C-alpha cells in the first residue's frame, strides 16, 4: 500500500464527507466535532468546507488516496487569534484502519507540516490530543511533537482534557526515513 498524498480538491467533497463521518464514528474522542452533528450537515456545507481547504492560504487539508479512494486525511489552519507570531494547528488527522502502520499517517503529517512551515510560514505548529488517545500521542511523539504541559478541557466533555503538543522535529524533508 502506497497511497498518494495531495492537497484536497473541491471535487473530493463526497469522499471527504464519507471519510470524516467514518472518523467521527470510529473515534469520537479524537475529534471536537461529533458524528451526530456532522451527519446532519447539508451537502453545501461539505462542498464549502472542502473548497475552502483546497484553496485557502490559511487552511489546508491533505489526503491520502489509494486506488481513487481517500484513505486518510490531515488538516491544518493558521490560528487567527495568535498575532505575535504565525502559529498553525493540525487537526482532523485520521487514517482508515487497513492503512494504519503503513506510513500513510507519516506521509500525511509530513505534507501538512511542510505546508504549515513553507506555504503558511508558521513558526510554531501544534496540535491537541485528548486523554486516552494514547496511540495518536505515541505517533505524534515519534514524528517529533513534544508535550508543552498545557492542557485544556475537551469541548464535548469537559471532564476530559486535551494536551498540547508542539512540533520540535526537523523539517519533514530532512527527517530520517
Instruction: Delimit the domains of the chain by residue range.
Output: 4-174
Position 79 scores a pLDDT of 95
pLDDT in tens, 79-102: 999 889 999 999 999 999 999 999
User: Which set of grid coordinates corresponds to residue 27?
Assistant: 473515534
Quote the pTM value.
0.92
How far is C-alpha 73 from the chain's CA centre?
6
Beta strands 69-78 and 59-66 are: antiparallel
Residue segments in the chain with a per-residue pLDDT below the cut of 50: 174-177
CATH number of 4-174: 3.40.630.30
Amino acid at each position: 500500500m502506497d497511497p498518494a498524498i495531495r492537497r484536497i480538491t473541491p471535487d473530493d467533497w463526497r469522499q471527504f464527507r464519507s471519510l470524516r463521518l467514518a472518523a467521527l464514528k470510529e473515534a469520537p474522542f479524537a475529534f471536537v466535532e461529533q458524528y451526530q452533528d456532522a451527519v446532519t450537515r447539508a451537502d453545501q456545507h461539505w462542498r464549502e468546507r472542502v473548497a475552502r481547504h483546497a484553496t485557502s492560504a490559511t487552511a489546508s487539508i491533505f489526503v491520502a488516496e489509494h486506488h481513487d479512494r481517500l484513505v486518510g486525511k490531515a488538516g491544518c489552519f493558521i490560528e487567527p487569534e495568535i498575532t505575535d507570531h504565525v502559529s498553525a494547528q493540525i487537526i482532523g488527522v485520521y487514517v482508515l484502519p487497513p492503512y494504519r502502520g503503513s506510513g500513510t499517517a507519516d506521509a500525511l503529517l509530513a505534507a501538512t507540516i511542510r505546508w504549515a512551515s513553507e506555504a503558511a510560514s508558521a513558526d510554531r505548529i501544534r496540535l491537541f490530543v485528548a486523554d486516552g488517545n494514547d496511540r495518536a500521542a505515541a505517533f505524534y511523539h515519534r514524528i517529533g511533537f513534544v508535550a508543552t504541559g498545557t492542557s485544556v478541557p475537551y469541548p464535548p466533555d469537559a471532564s476530559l482534557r486535551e494536551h498540547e503538543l508542539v512540533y520540535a522535529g526537523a523539517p519533514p524533508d530532512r527527517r530520517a526515513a
